[in-house]
Amino acid sequence: MKKLVIYNHGKDSIPWGEKTILFADVAKRHGYSFESPDYREQPDPDKRVGQLLAMDLSGYDQIVLIGSSMGAYVATVASESINPQGLFLLAPAFYLPGYRQTEFNPKAEVIRIFHGWQDDIVPPENVWRFCRKYHVRLNVYDTDHRMLSAMPQLTDEFSRFLAGLSGTSARSN
């Protein structure tokens, strides 16, 4: 079974920053290939969704999308077409000015969201609103928007997340 994790970085981030490398190590230990598209030339979140959807994912049986901030918005919107097994979101940029989509249809067998109480970019209330509406478990840490101080816990959560996906069915499309 060919398995892939796609990391979607945030607005002002780079495709292979500290978080990306840590999540890539976890994914590889669980037998996943790992990609991190470079969105730096594209400031528009909805055009980033188009860039993600343009990737050829036909050779994979299982796909997991990770997103951080704007990248979490991108992963969530793209999940409506990709139908990944997992959606793992960090400080998702939901309900912010300049983001076209405010109604979502997240499609994934398992969705987990992590946010920081001290986030001054995306208010925790926005993420709670999403989680309440779509019945998604929210994990909140005493950290800021970048969530770097919580990375040991987040990589542990990601490892458990991937381990739990091993029993889910392969892609249906």
Question: What digits encode the pLDDT tens for the residues 39-65?
Answer: 999 999 999 999 999 999 999 999 999
pLDDT of residue 172: 36
Radius of gyration of the CA atoms of the chain, in A:
14
Top pLDDT among 164 and 171 is at 164
Question: What digits encode the pLDDT tens for the residues 68-105?
Answer: 999 999 999 999 999 999 999 999 999 999 899 999 99
Whether this prediction's pTM lies above 0.75 is answered by yes
Give the chain's mean pLDDT: 95
pLDDT of residue 167: 59
Q: Which fold has domain 3-165?
A: Rossmann fold (3.40.50)
Q: What percent of the chain has pLDDT over 90?
A: 95
Concatenate the DSSP letters of all residues of the chain into one string: --EEEEEE--TT--TTSHHHHHHHHHHHHTT-EEE----TT---HHHHHHHHHTS--TT-SEEEEEEETHHHHHHHHHHHHH--SEEEEES---S-TT----S-----SEEEEEEETT-SSS-HHHHHHHHHHHT-EEEEES--TT-GGGHHHHHHHHHHHHHHHTTSPPP--
